[in-house]
Amino acid sequence: MSDNDLESTQRRIIEAAGIMFAERGFESTTVRDICQEAGANLAAVNYHFGDKERLYIETVLRAHRWCIEKVKLPGWDETTPATQKLADFIITFFGRVLSDPGDVWQPRLVLREVLHPTAACAELARSSIRPEFEILNGILRELLPDDISEEELHLTAFSIVGQCLFYFFADGVIRSLIVADEYASHDVEKLARHVTNFSLAAIQARANAHQPAALLEEVER
Amino acid sequence: MSDNDLESTQRRIIEAAGIMFAERGFESTTVRDICQEAGANLAAVNYHFGDKERLYIETVLRAHRWCIEKVKLPGWDETTPATQKLADFIITFFGRVLSDPGDVWQPRLVLREVLHPTAACAELARSSIRPEFEILNGILRELLPDDISEEELHLTAFSIVGQCLFYFFADGVIRSLIVADEYASHDVEKLARHVTNFSLAAIQARANAHQPAALLEEVER
DNA sequence: AATTGATTGAAACAGATGTTTTAATCGCAT
DNA sequence: ATGCGATTAAAACATCTGTTTCAATCAATT
């Protein structure tokens, strides 16, 4: 009954449920499938967790704690350049997006819940995503001109996470658009490098255009 | 019984089904809900369409035809600059992504099917998305250096559509991250302008970096 | 007006799914 | 060994959902 008993029925159920919830969602996953996969009796879910929804909440909470524990940003100090922070942020983000399904299901379940919150976990979804958003905004504030509007800051942040998340939610589309070899060659480092270069180029162009922009207009007149 | 009879039961069922399929997906939408919303009898779906799946296919096919008809790229000629083509592509793409749910459900249903293809419509999803992908690749080939790799071309295309689609699939997240006024101020023109500027800046930086890159390496040695 | 085919309405059916019940079994302290 | 609480097993239950059935109704034609 210990929480750390790797062979306990609860553990096996959480593991099976996590994989299936992450892959097919709450509604499309049946209690029977979970129990069969976990090698447990049909009544085990209700006995150990009360009902299916409480099992789901428990699974999402554990997945969230797992992510906080395992997928961490590296430590920064005051000498770390903002460009490095952005690169770190993006590669960490990709670590979740591209986690192997099946083996590591926790980030996928959390991402699914964040993108399409269940009523039960809506609050967790909000509270888990906001700090990351603020970290990214902080990095971008260092990279962009001081007088940038909050709105443009947010649009820039959305552009970055949008690029990353695309590989998560459009995985099937990507697989059908490019040849198998190219798809297989996608990995965290390569994709993170592309998104970092692409975004930094756009950000630095925006930063450089800030002051000279007025001058250029003068010239054109 | 006419296909254009706006008051026919088929029409009302397709309209109700489209809205609900687009919003909640195939599995989470029940035949009973559709018929109630359409003011039709429970047996109407099976009588007019055979079964629920064939109703779904018919609804997706009509939505797809509607999109081809209504959401079109403007005409280009050989004098149209590639930057303009990219701007056109992005704003057209946003026209689908940000369509008003409820009133205009067709683009959302097609997007949903493209991102998470049902077995029944997988082929349609693939065949409808590939031409758009090739159009975007063509535009990017004009903007990027000639010797760009296919892979980098594709990654750049993914960066652009990823930014656009983010506003589609992460709508709930966005709403919870920014204040209501800012969310309400999002419209097709503004978002398309941001994504276009962001992406063009990144692309042009990449184009300019192409030749000088080797020189810079020389200098560093 | 009568007939015929298409459509609609109401009820029932069959299968799947979450939950509950009740008895059997296991682990362990006494 | 015994008794007891925790766990598991098997079956049944209740509800939901897609589908079918069959009679009633409607619309158009003769």
Mean pLDDT of A182-195: 97
Query: Tens digits of per-residue pLDDT, B139-165?
Result: 999 999 999 999 999 999 999 999 999
Per-residue confidence band for B213, with pLDDT thresholds at 50, 70 and 90: very low
Best A158, A169, A185 residue to mutate vs chain B (most B CBs within 10 Å): A158
Distance CA(B100)–CA(B22), nearest Å, equals 12
Contacts of A198 in chain B (CB under 8 A): 155-156, 159, 202, 206
Q: Which of B 44-103 have CB under 7 A of nucleic chain D?
A: 45-46, 51-53
Closest amino acid to nucleotide D21 (CA–C1'): B43
Query: Tens digits of per-residue pLDDT, A141-184?
Result: 999 999 999 999 999 999 999 999 999 999 999 999 999 999 99
Mean pLDDT of B1-26: 85
Confidence check: pLDDT of B115 > 50: yes
pTM, 2 dp: 0.92
Percentage of residues of chain A with pLDDT beyond 90: 86
Distance CA(A81)–CA(A139), nearest Å, equals 9
Distance CA(A136)–CA(A153), nearest Å, equals 10
Size of the A and B interface in Cβ pairs below 8 Å: 126
Answer yes or no: do A202 and B206 touch at CB < 8 A.
no
Confidence check: pLDDT of B114 > 80: yes
Q: Which residue's structure tokens are 């001109």?
A: A145
Per-residue confidence band for A211, with pLDDT thresholds at 50, 70 and 90: low
Given this model, what pLDDT does residue B212 score?
52
Phi and psi at residue B138, in whole multiples of 5°?
A: -60, -45
Query: Tens digits of per-residue pLDDT, A85-122?
Result: 999 999 999 998 998 877 899 999 999 999 999 999 99
Residue A214 or B89, more confident = B89
Answer yes or no: do A173 and B115 touch at CB < 8 A.
yes
Given this model, what pLDDT does residue A210 score?
65
Given this model, what pLDDT does residue B3 score?
41
Distance CA(A14)–CA(A21), nearest Å, equals 10
Distance CA(A16)–CA(A37), nearest Å, equals 6
Query: Tens digits of per-residue pLDDT, B78-113?
Result: 999 999 999 999 999 999 899 887 789 999 999 999
Tokens of A44: 């085990």
- Lowest mean pLDDT, pick from A6-10, A13-17, A94-98: A6-10
Contacts of B176 in chain A (CB under 8 A): 125-126, 129-130
Query: Tens digits of per-residue pLDDT, A22-72?
Result: 999 999 999 999 999 999 999 999 999 999 999 999 999 999 999 999 999
Nearest CB neighbour to A162, from listed B117, B126, B163: B163
B30 touches strand D (CB under 7 A): yes
C-alpha neighbours within 13 Å on the C-beta side of residue A46: 6
Given this model, what pLDDT does residue A3 score?
41
Nearest 10 degrees: Cα torsion B142, B144, B145, B146: -40
Distance CA(A178)–CA(A191), nearest Å, equals 15
DSSP letters, B147-191, are T--HHHHHHHHHHHHHHHHHHHHTHHHHHHHS-HHHHHT--HHHH
Given this model, what pLDDT does residue A5 score?
56
Given this model, what pLDDT does residue A198 score?
98
Query: Tens digits of per-residue pLDDT, B166-198?
Result: 999 999 999 999 999 999 999 999 999 999 999
Confidence check: pLDDT of A218 > 70: no
Contact A170, B174 (CB under 8 A): no
- In chain A, count H helices and then E strands: 11, 0
Given this model, what pLDDT does residue A152 score?
98
CA of A22 to C1' of D7 (A): 28
Residue A212 or A184, more confident = A184
Distance CA(A15)–CA(A7), nearest Å, equals 11
Given this model, what pLDDT does residue B99 score?
87
> Within chain B, what is the greatest distance between any pair of CA atoms?
79
Best A140, A169, A173 residue to mutate vs chain B (most B CBs within 10 Å): A173
- In chain B, count H helices and then E strands: 11, 0
Distance CA(A90)–CA(B190), nearest Å, equals 25
Which of A102, A98, A123 shows the shortest CA–CA distance to A113?
Answer: A123
* Dihedral sign of CA atoms B79, B85, B86, B91 in order: positive
Confidence check: pLDDT of B25 > 80: yes
Percentage of residues of chain B with pLDDT beyond 90: 87
Given this model, what pLDDT does residue A214 score?
47
Given this model, what pLDDT does residue A1 score?
40
Mean pLDDT of B201-213: 82
Contact B114, B129 (CB under 8 A): yes
Confidence check: pLDDT of A2 > 70: no
- Lowest mean pLDDT, pick from A39-53, A110-124, A184-198, B205-219: B205-219
Tokens of B76: 């280009």
Contacts of B201 in chain A (CB under 8 A): 201-202, 205-206, 209
Distance CA(A99)–CA(A66), nearest Å, equals 13
Confidence check: pLDDT of A6 > 80: no
Contact A108, A101 (CB under 8 A): yes
Distance CA(A175)–CA(A169), nearest Å, equals 12
